[in-house]
Structure 1
Amino acid sequence: MPDPDLITQALGRNIKRLRTERSHTLDALAARSGVSRGMIVQIEQARTNPSVGTVVRLADALGVSIARLLDYDETSTVRIVPGEEAVQLWSGPSGGRGVLLNGIEAPGPLELWEWTVLPGEGHTSDPHPVGTVEIVRVDEGALTLTLDGREHVVPAGSTASYEAGYAHGYRNDGEVPLRLTLVVSVPPPPR
């Protein structure tokens, strides 16, 4: 895993660069993302380590993948992310984790995630922009997927796809670790 300071600095630098490229003021980005102006300033100055939800809201508002916000090496046209450099963005109280493996802009953000959710753990997500879709493949265990208040059990070896413009969450109600691979596709922002 890369140095957390390197990630914090890349996040701040990339948010400021993308905000400037899109001609967004701090106030405009705050309004689009729902993240306070003060928090954006702290992030851009690499003085804070924001929550996953904050990073997601900023990525959505800027119309880019989380991977692009966290990218600290944009010098190659082929982006290879060694396993040890994948970025862990979620950790559960029992040791579960959500790791962003890679992401691209195609034509909107497209992200590939690896999740381990230990028994009793769960993660909830605010709705993504309308038109966002997710595909999840359960590699081990069973996923309890909550979408817009309804629960769906996805067993090992199965995949599920759904619109993620609704509140949703991933939970492990079983007795063994849940391991899943997740693809998130966000539509490009309106210009």
Structure 2
Amino acid sequence: MTDKVNIMTEQGADIAQVSLAVANRIRNWRKEKKLSLDELSRRASVSKGMLVEIEKGAANPSIAILCKLAAALGVSVADIVNVSSTPAVHLIEEADIPVLWQGEKGGRARLLAGTAGPDMIELWKWEMQPGERFSSPGHPSGTFELLHVEAGALTLTLDESVTPIPAGASAVAKTDAAHSYANEGDTLLVFTMTVAELSRR
């Protein structure tokens, strides 16, 4: 299972409204930075056709596409889905926490919170059912992730290296290369993840 997803929220917020909000933010940032669709497409390595659909609110972009667009625009994924922190304390209600990945068997990944701007930190909560997998082509250079497994066992594959992470254990991984998370066990996998991209500029 790759990261083909629908953007939705935990407690029933309208998917179309979330997609429209994402569309508006991407379009506004693109215009603010005076980028044409062609130029953003080139910088983000995302097809122009996909960008047109996203900006119309007609497409639900994957996590990978959101990461590429955020990097190209100099913002964070949290900025795009509107869970980034701007005041000293920015409370995000449970109903406003977006689900950015859903597995074929009911797993999900929620972006709990994140900082704004090109240097960003994100906090994620993942639940994966047995047999589910999420694959990423890799993040910008310098990205690393902190992982803590709460239940089950996480199989982390980074390039050709496979690392099993059991319940109660933590790991630090440089994820600027292709990587994946998988639940190869027979019980629910639950883990938290902090993503830090601190060297874009």
The TM-score with structure 2 as length reference comes to 0.87
Is 1:43 paired with 2:80?
no
Q: How far apart are 1:62 and its partner, in Å?
A: 1.7
Aligned to 1:23: 34
Aligned to 1:86: 97
Q: How far apart are 1:22 and its partner, in Å?
A: 2.3
Structure 1, gaps ≥5 residues long: none
- Is the Cα contact below 8 Å between 1:127 and 1:166 reproduced in 2? yes
d(CA) in 1 for partners of 2:98, 2:50: 21
- The percentage of counterpart residues that share the same residue type is 38
- Is the Cα contact below 8 Å between 1:110 and 1:183 reproduced in 2? yes
Secondary structure at 1:84's aligned position in 2? helix
d(CA) in 2 for partners of 1:44, 1:167: 27
Is 1:109 paired with 2:129?
no
Q: How far apart are 1:50 and its partner, in Å?
A: 1.9
- Is the Cα contact below 8 Å between 1:136 and 1:161 reproduced in 2? yes
1:9-30 Cα distance to aligned partner (Å, 9 max, x none): 1111111122222222211110
Matched to 2:82, the amino acid is: D
Aligned to 2:4: none
Structure 2, gaps ≥5 residues long: 1-8
Aligned to 1:5: 16
- Is the Cα contact below 8 Å between 2:159 and 2:178 reproduced in 1? yes
Aligned to 1:98: 109
After TM superposition, the structure 1 stretch with the greater mean CA deviation from structure 2, 48-57 or 174-183, is 48-57
Is 1:178 paired with 2:189?
yes
Aligned to 1:147: 158
Number of equivalenced pairs: 190
d(CA) in 1 for partners of 2:32, 2:88: 20
Q: How far apart are 1:165 and its partner, in Å?
A: 0.5
1:37-58 Cα distance to aligned partner (Å, 9 max, x none): 1211221121222222222221
Aligned to 1:163: 174
d(CA) in 2 for partners of 1:165, 1:73: 22
Secondary structure at 2:39's aligned position in 1? helix
d(CA) in 2 for partners of 1:73, 1:62: 15
CA-based RMSD: 2.0
